[in-house]
Amino acid sequence: MKVHGKTVAAGNSRPDKKRPKQPETVPDEQVDSYEITGTGDSSCIIKGESSLSPQQKRFIRSTIHKAVQFFAGNFGEVKRPLVLSVLDTGDVLRTGYHVKDDVINFPPDEKGRRPALDSADILVHEAFHALVAQAYPQLTADQYVNESEYVRLHEGLADYFTHQLYPDESFAEGLGEGGKPLRNYRNRRRVSLSPGGHSQGNALTSYLLDNQVTPDQVRGFLEDGDFSLRGLAQISPKLDRALQLDASLSLKDKVANYPASDLRKYWLEEGKPLEVAFEANQSLQETHPNLSIEWLRPSGFPSKTFVFDETEPNRFRVEPKGHGAEKVLAVFRDGQEIIGSRPFYFGSKD
């Protein structure tokens, strides 16, 4: 989803360089709810549909229609057809819902393909963003844009909504790194140990499913107006207890040999290693006694430029083995299960 110049897409969350257009729109309060007919034609408008095959158009329309019907029956009012764009304008870089334009964009990738159009999960996920903007426009208003809970709540709920329609294990099978799914619905991630809206939202989706939260409870949360993690917790005592435990977990990192960076960005010198130590609080030690840390690139592969030697449990010496810059994740595990991660940015040069 893109909000006032920021993108929250179904995959990674990175800025979309598209300059928002300002089309004329009719205020929501002046638009009556439209009638959802028995076909997908009434549920969405596809800009640039002539570039799609008949099979693609049928798949997209039927999938969006299914999402619209389910939303209308369980989550809120549907006021108008959803608008999808497959136009190759060159100024939209990422798949996602653009709030100001009220359009779900599906731009081509560098090979001219649009794999997201073949994923019912992504179509439904993005449809949820657009439908929430219709039914609850106050939840995409300016006051939420800079709140830390905004993205994670929208992303967690969008995946939850998708799982209600397609209750399998994984989201967007085949579209992740190496043909893997983009993510698994049920997992052991912790909100407090995860970076960014999508990762935290992934943890929230699992909490909602594991604690058997119902669509009716989610609708009550959307209608209530307290759009916060605290407000979400109030819909279920079990969910409240789970989120309270999550909030009690803490894993601090400290560095030596270089000045500490709030952004965790470090230029390393040859012969001068960076020392990184992670300190778990008592709640984390009790909840995840088998905590371990592994350093991986976002692709899931080890670093090509830096060496990470564990000198003591959860204490590391980081040294360059070449020149370059990389984003590397400190991946937190309990046994084999990932419970969180934290990004570091390392560089080395002559």
Burial code (b: 16+ CB inside 10 Å, e: under 16) for 266-278 equals bebeeeebbebeb
Question: 313 and 297 in one domain?
Answer: yes
Question: 131 and 42 in one domain?
Answer: yes
Segment among 32-46, 79-93, 175-189, 273-287 with least mean pLDDT: 32-46
Instruction: Look at residue 17 in the predicted model and tell me its pLDDT.
Output: 33
Final residue in a domain of this structure, among 244, 279, 312: 244
Would strands 82-85 and 96-98 be described as parallel, antiparallel, or unpaired?
unpaired
Final residue in a domain of this structure, among 244, 266, 284: 244
Could you list the beta-strand ranges (E) of the chain: 2-3, 6-7, 44-47, 82-85, 96-98, 103-105, 170-171, 183-184, 251-256, 265-268, 274-280, 291-296, 306-312, 315-320, 324-334, 337-348
Instruction: Look at residue 22 in the predicted model and tell me its pLDDT.
Output: 32
DSSP 28: G
Calpha distance 170→87 (Å, rounded): 29
- Average pLDDT of 149-155? 91
Question: 67 and 157 in one domain?
Answer: yes
Final residue in a domain of this structure, among 196, 213, 244: 244
Question: 338 and 196 in one domain?
Answer: no
Name the residue type at position 305.
Answer: T
Counted domains in the chain: 2
For residues 153 and 38, the answer to whether their CB atoms sit within 8 Å is no
Q: Region of 179 please: left (phi>0), alpha (psi -120 to 50) or beta.
A: left
Which has more confidence, 88 or 30? Answer: 88
Instruction: Look at residue 90 in the predicted model and tell me its pLDDT.
Output: 83
Q: Which range of residues forms the domain containing residue 258? A: 251-348
Question: 234 and 255 in one domain?
Answer: no
Question: 256 and 232 in one domain?
Answer: no
- Average pLDDT of 319-329? 96
Question: 333 and 201 in one domain?
Answer: no
Question: 203 and 56 in one domain?
Answer: yes
Confidence of residue 36 (pLDDT cuts 50, 70, 90): low
Task: CATH number of the domain at 41, please.
Answer: 1.10.390
Question: 182 and 39 in one domain?
Answer: yes
Question: 258 and 218 in one domain?
Answer: no
Instruction: Look at residue 23 in the predicted model and tell me its pLDDT.
Output: 32
In this prediction the pTM is 0.87
Question: 196 and 82 in one domain?
Answer: yes
Question: 131 and 152 in one domain?
Answer: yes
Residue 43: CA atoms inside 13 Å, Cβ hemisphere, count? Answer: 26
Calpha distance 16→69 (Å, rounded): 30
